[in-house]
A and B are shown apart, each in its own frame.
Chain A
Amino acid sequence: MAKVVDARGLSCPQPVLLARKAMEEGEFPIEVLVDTGTSRDNVTRVAQKAGLKVRVEEREGGFVVRIEK
């Protein structure tokens, strides 16, 4: 079961801060729900920088950024 981080509707940089917090907690995989392209790109970038695998899916008008080790 993936850990779900709901960052929909939050302003920059909160989606990234929430994603980072979940990454630091170390429970993978993580699914970050976002609703803008900006947040999708930012969360993707921060996870890739940490050397993690990222897959993005579109869901319900938003995106799921799935982060795995």
Chain B
Amino acid sequence: MSRFFASRIGIIVSGAIIGALAALLVLWGNPPNMGICVACFTRDTAGALGLHRAATVQYIRPELIGFILGALLGALLFKEFKPRSGSAPLIRFVLGFFAIIGALVFLGCPWRAYLRLAGGDLNALLGIAGFIVGVAIGVFFLKRGYSLGRSRPVGTAVGLVMPVFALILLLLLLFRVSFGENAPIFFSKSGPGSLHAPILISLAVGIVAGFLAQRTRFCTMGAIRDVIIMRDFHLLSGVLAFIVAAFLVNLAIGKFHPGFAPQPIAHSNHLWNFLGMVLAGMSFALAGGCPGRQFFMAGEGDGDAAIFIFGMLVGAAFVHNFNLAGVPDKIVDGKLVVGGPSLWGQIAVIVGLIIVAAIGWTMREK
């Protein structure tokens, strides 16, 4: 069984299952072209907790809870639950912080970039191109000897922080706990945060995806990185299966609409779609995994991946408190108004590129 998951066919089948389920989640209620978006869902969760007050993007996303619990399950069943930490945690927090700024300027992490493409949103091509460039810059640093140093085995408590956090989020969601008037937990009444599949379906899909991804090491960043570094197409074959399966499901359920504008929860500001994802790609490459993979590793007990996730959670709060996110295209009086990030969002991306490049340049194993 272990062999199957490590095989080429194993990752292709797993990628296809995750992609098909992600496309189906839209049919079951998730926002358009957003069956699974790790960055968007982290942002929605930050909003539900009141870390930001953008009323349209507040919802504790059960898919992410499922990612952690599914990966934990896979790790426990196959004896891969290994609490570990200590590989430059603060830098990982910073990488998570800037990764989500880049992703939310584009309006999606690599997961959603691929799903947007599978739904016909051609702006995703700019995002994916930027993402590939970002990962290539990360590879350049890796080849120069970039390293965040070694993690070490640590006490079980470290490995249980994220699963316990996930369970607490699940309870807050299931019981719709309210901490008072105008206090969390928030549930969006309109906008993307109000669109969601039934909780148990989302949770189940998350657990299945988390389990499969933990077993196969599915990674939307590693797919690109491994091709650039060593022409290894193993992970890429999983990602291609993910895209093709989502595309076929979209065709079947009438959710494939090719074009640039207007696309749902997307903008056609090409430069910033590109640059936002350069920043995200670099950050994920330097952190050793895409945002989904960080959740899966956190479920396996990786405390450094957990810190990266907390960096994303705080970064998402900053994005919305400081108006950094990309604004979707709109149709006003029959005319297209192209969206994109505010000036502050653009500055944040530039600052992020400089800081993340400085991390890539300076961090080496002592």
Contacts and interface: CB of A to CB of B under 8 A. Distances in A.
Interface stretch (B121-129, B145-153, B174-182): B145-153
Interface string A43-67: 0011001000000000001000000
A42 B80 CA distance: 15
Nearest to A37: B80
Given A37-B78, A41-B6, A61-B153, A14 B147 contact: yes
A2 interface: no
Which bucket holds chain B's interface residue count? 20 to 34
A11 B288 contact: yes
B84 A45 contact: no
Interface residues of A, number: 20
Nearest to B225: A13
Contact of A41 (B142, B143, B153, B217): B217
Given A9-B150, A38-B217, A61-B153, A49 B82 contact: no
B87 interface: yes
Nearest to A61: B153
Interface string B38-66: 00000000000000000000000000000
Contacts of A42: 217
Interface string A1-36: 000000011111110110010000000000000011
B268 to A, nearest CB: 34
Given A17-B142, A41-B6, A11 B87 contact: yes
A4 B80 CA distance: 23
A36 B80 contact: yes
Contacts of B354: none
Given A14-B147, A17-B142, A35-B153, A9 B222 contact: no
A35 B82 contact: yes
Nearest to A44: B6
Given A35-B153, A46-B232, A9 B84 contact: yes
Nearest to A41: B6
Contact of B289 (A8, A10, A12, A35): A12
A16 B150 contact: no
A51 to B, nearest CB: 14
A10 B150 contact: yes
A20 B12 CA distance: 25
B330 interface: no
B230 interface: yes
Contacts of B270: none
B75 to A, nearest CB: 9
Interface string B265-289: 0000000000000000000000111
A17 B228 CA distance: 12
Top 8 nearest A-B pairs (CB, nearest first) are: A9-B150, A11-B288, A9-B151, A12-B288, A37-B80, A41-B6, A38-B217, A10-B150
Interface of B: 6, 78, 80, 82, 84, 86-87, 142-143, 147-153, 217, 219, 222, 225-226, 229-230, 232, 234, 287-289, 300, 304
Given A9-B86, A36-B300, 16 more contacts: A8-B150, A9-B151, A9-B152, A10-B147, A11-B148, A11-B288, A11-B304, A13-B225, A13-B226, A13-B229, A17-B229, A35-B84, A41-B217, A42-B217, A45-B232, A49-B232
